[in-house]
A and B are shown apart, each in its own frame.
Chain A
Amino acid sequence: MKKLSILVIALLALALGTVVSAQDDVTVTLASTQFNVVEETEKAREILADFEGGTIDFVPFEEGPLIDLLRAEGQSGAGTIDVIGSIHGTFPTLVNDDVLFDLTDLLASIEEEYDVSDDFVELGRMGTTDYQYYIPWMQATYIMAANNEALEYLPEGADVNALTWEQLAQWGQAMQEATGEAKIGFPVAGLFHRFLEGYAFPSFTGGMVTQFRSEGAAEMLRFMRDDLWPYVNPESINYDFMNEPLLSGEVWVAFDHVARLKAAFDESPEMFVAFPAPAGPAGRGYMPVVAGLGVPFTSPNPDEAEAVIRYMLSPAVQSQVLSELGFYPVIDGVETEDLPEGVATMLDAVAATVGADDAIPSLLPIGLGARGGEINEIFRNAFNRVVINGEDIDTVLEEEAVTLQTLMDETGAACWAPDPVSEGACQVE
C-alpha cells in the first residue's frame, strides 16, 4: 500500500513536471500590422525565433481586421492574441474599445535595463497620465534617396542635407535637360498620403489639419503643380515602393519610407545617397513613425506576453530589426557600428532629419479610429484634383476642407502635432 502511494505520488510529480515544462514552451501569439509583406514577415519570424521563453507565433494582420478581432475577443472575454504590434495610429481605437492592459509596471522594469525614448513613452500613454497602453517598439521615418549620377546636376550652392523645395525643383529641371527624362519619383500608389500630411503641408504651412486651406497650402499645391510635377516621372502614379524604380535607374531622386527604400540600399549601397526631405517656407516637415506593443487583457498568456515585449526591446533584437527590416531602435545603446553599408547610410539621413534645426515633427493622424484611412484620402484628393486633374486650387481646398472638418467633428479627434493642442475636435481654420 505504501509502495503504491509512493508510485502514485511519483507519477503525479512526473505529470506535474511535464505540465510545468510544457508551460515553458508556450506559444505566444504576436499579431502585427507591421511586416505584413511576405518577405518582411519571414525576416521578422527569423529574428523572433531566438526567443527563449517559448515560441513566438508572428501573425501578420491588416489594421481593420485586427481591430475587429480584438473587439470581438474583448466582448467574448476569451482571446487568442497575446501581444499586438502596430503603429501609433491603431491604438486610439483600441483605447476606445478598452481592450488593453496597463503596462506601467512592465515599462518601469524594462527601463531598469534600457532607456526607452521618453517622447514615445509619452505617446504610448495616449493622453492619459497613469495608463501605459503600449510600449514603444520601433521607429521609422521617410527620407529621400538619390542615385550618385544625379548629384552632378544638383543646383549650385545646394546642400543635399539641407535642401529646399525650390532647389529640388531646379534639380529635377537640370536632370530633365541633361537626360531628356523626368528623373524625380514619388510613391503615388504607395504611402504618398504621408508625404502630403507630414512633409508637403507642414513645410509650407507649419500645420497639417488646421492649415489645410491656408494660403501656404494653396502655394504648396501651386508649387507642386507648376514647379515640381513637370520633372516628376509620369510613371510615379504606379509606384508603390520606390526601391524598384531607383534600382532600374528609371528614377534618380525619390522620396519614400525607409523600409521601402531599404532593398535598393541593400542591393547597391554604393549607388545611392540618402538625405532628409526638403524644407519649405515654414520649415522641414517630417513624420516620425512609431510602432508600439500592447497586451490585450484577453491574452491567454499575459506573463509570457510581457516577456516577449521585454525581449523585443533588447538591444540585440532592436539591432537586428534595424539591419534586416529597416526600422530604428526606440532604446538607447544599440550598436550601430557594424551595420551594413546601406543601412548605415540611411541611418545617417534619419538622424539628419530628426536633428535638423528647422525640423517640424508631424505625427500620424490620431484618434480617427476605424476612419483613419479617410483622412489620407482627403489629402490625396486635394493633391490629385489640383496637380493631376488640374482643378482650381481654392475650390478644391474649400471643398476638401469641408470633408476634413466633417471627419474631425464626427470622430471628435483633437489636433495632433504640428497643429496646436485643441479642446474638442480639431478645427480647420
Chain B
Amino acid sequence: MTEATVRSEVGSPAPMTQAVQAARRRAKMRHTLRRASVYAVAIAIALWILVPIWLIFTMAFSTPQDVRSFPKPFYPSPFSTDTIEFFLNTEGVLRSTLNSFIVAIIALLLSTAIAMPAGYAIARFVFRGRDTIRLGILSVRAFPVVVLAVPLAVVFIRLGMFDQTYSLALMHTALTLPTTILVIASVFMGLPYEFEEAAQVFGCTRLQAFWRVVLPLAVPGIAAAAVLTFVLSWNEVFAAILLTITNRTLPAQILYNLDKSGDPYKFAGGFFMLVPSLIFIFFIRRYLFSMWGQLNK
C-alpha cells in the first residue's frame, strides 16, 4: 500500500503530461484496489474467527428443541435462555465453575507473587548465570503438561493432596510461572531505569524506589500478565482431569460429561467457557505485543 503512495508522491512535482496523469490515475487505482483487498482479507479473517463464535452463541441462546433440531437455525429464533439455564442448573456446573475460579485466582496470585521478584531480577540486574537462568525458564515453558500431570497425580495421592482445588492451583502455578516471569521481566524492561535512579538520587532506598516509582508504572503490565495466567488456568483441562475427581474444574467437568450428555449441555458449556476469555482478552489486547515483543529480544 505505502509503495503506491511513495510512487505517486515521487511523480507529483513533475509537469503533468498526459502520460504521467494516466500513470497517476493507474497508480491511484492500484492503490485503492490494494487497500480494498487488504480490507477484504481482514474482513475474511475476522469472519473466519467470528462465525464459529456466532454459531455457538446461537446454540447457547436457542431453545433445547432448536439445538436438537435439524436443520439448525443460524441465529437464535426465538431467542431463549432455556438452554444456557439448563446447563447452569445441571448438577456440578456451578460448583465446578466456582472451583475453576478458585483455582485460577490462587494460581494468579501465587504465580504473580513469585514471578514479580524474579522478573525484576532478570530485567534489572546483570549477574553471573543470568542467561542460563533465562534459558532455563524458557525451556521449562516448553515443557509438556502431560509429562508433569501424571507423576504429580501420583505424588499428590501419596501426600493426601489429591483431588483438591489447591493442589491443582499449585500445578497451574507451576505451568504458568515461566511465562509470567518472562512477561513481567519484559514489563520492567519497558520502564526506563532512569526513574529509579532519579528516585534513589532523591534519597529513596532501592525498595522504596521500586515501591513508589516502578511498581505504579508497572501495574498495568503486571495486571495483564496476571490476566493471562488466569486465562491459561481457566482453560487448562489435561492436568485438571487427572488431578481432580470430585472437585473438578469447569473444563474437566464438561470433558468428563461430553459423551454422557446431549448437545444442549455441550454447546451451552462450550459458549459458557468462552465468555470470560472474550472479556479478558479485550482488556489485555494492548499489552499482547509489548509482552511478546520483549520476549524475543
Q: Which residues of A contact B259 (CB under 8 A)?
A: 189-190, 238-240
Give the distance in Å from the alpha carbon of A189 to the alpha carbon of B258 in the complex: 10
Does A157 belong to the interface (CB within 8 Å)?
A: no
Is A248 touching B91 in the complex (CB atoms < 8 A)? no
Does A355 belong to the interface (CB within 8 Å)?
A: no
Does A244 belong to the interface (CB within 8 Å)?
A: yes
Hey, what's the 0/1 contact readout for B141-171 against A, CB within 8 Å counting as 1?
A: 0000000000000000100001100000000
Is A65 touching B245 in the complex (CB atoms < 8 A)? yes
Give the distance in Å from the alpha carbon of A272 to the alpha carbon of B11 in the complex: 83
Does B261 belong to the interface (CB within 8 Å)?
A: yes
A264 to chain B, nearest CB (A): 12
Known A189-B259, A190-B259, A244-B262: A38·B68 in contact at CB below 8 Å: no
Does B205 belong to the interface (CB within 8 Å)?
A: no
- The answer, among B245, B261, B262, for a CB contact under 8 Å with A62, is B245
Hey, what's the 0/1 contact readout for B237-251 against A, CB within 8 Å counting as 1?
A: 000000001100000
Give the distance in Å from the alpha carbon of A189 to the alpha carbon of B157 in the complex: 27
A362 to chain B, nearest CB (A): 25
Does A241 belong to the interface (CB within 8 Å)?
A: yes
Closest B residue to A249 using CB positions: B68
Most buried by A among B91, B245, B260: B260
Q: Which residues of A contact B245 (CB under 8 A)?
A: 61-62, 65
Task: Using C-beta atoms within 8 Å of the partner chain, give the interface range for chain B.
Answer: 10 to 19
Does A42 belong to the interface (CB within 8 Å)?
A: yes
Closest A residue to B245 using CB positions: A62
Chain A contacts with B in 230-276, Cβ cutoff 8 A: 238-241, 244, 248
Does A60 belong to the interface (CB within 8 Å)?
A: yes
Give the distance in Å from the alpha carbon of A190 to the alpha carbon of B262 in the complex: 14
Q: Which residues of A contact B76 (CB under 8 A)?
A: none
Hey, what's the 0/1 contact readout for B253-291 against A, CB within 8 Å counting as 1?
A: 000000111100000000000000000000000000000
Known A38-B91, A68-B157: A248·B262 in contact at CB below 8 Å: yes
Hey, what's the 0/1 contact readout for A58-78 against B, CB within 8 Å counting as 1?
A: 001110010010000000000
Closest A residue to B246 using CB positions: A60
Give the distance in Å from the alpha carbon of A241 to the alpha carbon of B257 in the complex: 10
Q: Which residues of A contact B162 (CB under 8 A)?
A: 65
Closest A residue to B160 using CB positions: A72
Known A239-B259, A240-B260: A65·B91 in contact at CB below 8 Å: no
Is A65 touching B260 in the complex (CB atoms < 8 A)? no
Give the distance in Å from the alpha carbon of A295 to the alpha carbon of B159 in the complex: 25
Hey, what's the 0/1 contact readout for A19-53 against B, CB within 8 Å counting as 1?
A: 00000000000000000011100100000000000
Closest B residue to A189 using CB positions: B259
B93 to chain A, nearest CB (A): 9
Give the distance in Å from the alpha carbon of A163 to the alpha carbon of B261 in the complex: 30
Q: Which residues of B contact A38 (CB under 8 A)?
A: 91-92
Q: Which residues of B contact A239 (CB under 8 A)?
A: 259
Q: Which residues of B contact A42 (CB under 8 A)?
A: 91
B240 to chain A, nearest CB (A): 15
Closest B residue to A60 using CB positions: B246
Give the distance in Å from the alpha carbon of A248 to the alpha carbon of B70 in the complex: 12
Is A65 touching B92 in the complex (CB atoms < 8 A)? no
Closest A residue to B93 using CB positions: A38
- The answer, among B91, B157, B260, for a CB contact under 8 Å with A241, is B260
B89 to chain A, nearest CB (A): 11
Give the distance in Å from the alpha carbon of A244 to the alpha carbon of B64 in the complex: 13
A97 to chain B, nearest CB (A): 16
Give the distance in Å from the alpha carbon of A42 to the alpha carbon of B91 in the complex: 9
Closest A residue to B261 using CB positions: A244
Closest B residue to A37 using CB positions: B260
Give the distance in Å from the alpha carbon of A21 to the alpha carbon of B68 in the complex: 55
Give the distance in Å from the alpha carbon of A62 to the alpha carbon of B246 in the complex: 9
Q: Which residues of B contact A37 (CB under 8 A)?
A: 260
- The answer, among B68, B92, B246, B260, for a CB contact under 8 Å with A248, is B68
A69 to chain B, nearest CB (A): 9
Q: Which residues of B contact A39 (CB under 8 A)?
A: 91
Give the distance in Å from the alpha carbon of A241 to the alpha carbon of B259 in the complex: 8
Give the distance in Å from the alpha carbon of A60 to the alpha carbon of B260 in the complex: 18
Is A65 touching B157 in the complex (CB atoms < 8 A)? yes
Give the distance in Å from the alpha carbon of A348 to the alpha carbon of B260 in the complex: 26
A123 to chain B, nearest CB (A): 28
A234 to chain B, nearest CB (A): 14
Give the distance in Å from the alpha carbon of A241 to the alpha carbon of B92 in the complex: 18
Q: Which residues of B contact A190 (CB under 8 A)?
A: 259-260
Hey, what's the 0/1 contact readout for A183-197 against B, CB within 8 Å counting as 1?
A: 000000110000000
Give the distance in Å from the alpha carbon of A244 to the alpha carbon of B68 in the complex: 11
Chain B contacts with A in 76-92, Cβ cutoff 8 A: 91-92
Closest B residue to A39 using CB positions: B91
Q: Which residues of A contact B91 (CB under 8 A)?
A: 38-39, 42
Give the distance in Å from the alpha carbon of A240 to the alpha carbon of B245 in the complex: 18
Chain B contacts with A in 89-103, Cβ cutoff 8 A: 91-92
A240 to chain B, nearest CB (A): 4
> Which residues of B come within 8 Å of A, CB atoms?
68, 91-92, 157, 162-163, 245-246, 259-262
- Beyond A68-B157, A241-B260, 13 extra complex contacts between A and B, CB < 8 Å: A37-B260, A39-B91, A60-B246, A65-B162, A189-B259, A190-B259, A190-B260, A239-B259, A240-B259, A240-B260, A244-B262, A248-B68, A248-B262
3 shortest interchain CB distances as A-B pairs: A38-B91, A240-B259, A189-B259
> Which residues of A come within 8 Å of B, CB atoms?
37-39, 42, 60-62, 65, 68, 189-190, 238-241, 244, 248
Provide a sorted-by-A list of 22 A–B residue pairs whose CB atoms are within 8 angstroms.
Answer: A37-B260, A38-B92, A39-B91, A42-B91, A60-B246, A61-B245, A62-B245, A65-B157, A65-B162, A65-B163, A65-B245, A68-B157, A189-B259, A190-B259, A238-B259, A239-B259, A240-B259, A240-B260, A244-B261, A244-B262, A248-B68, A248-B262
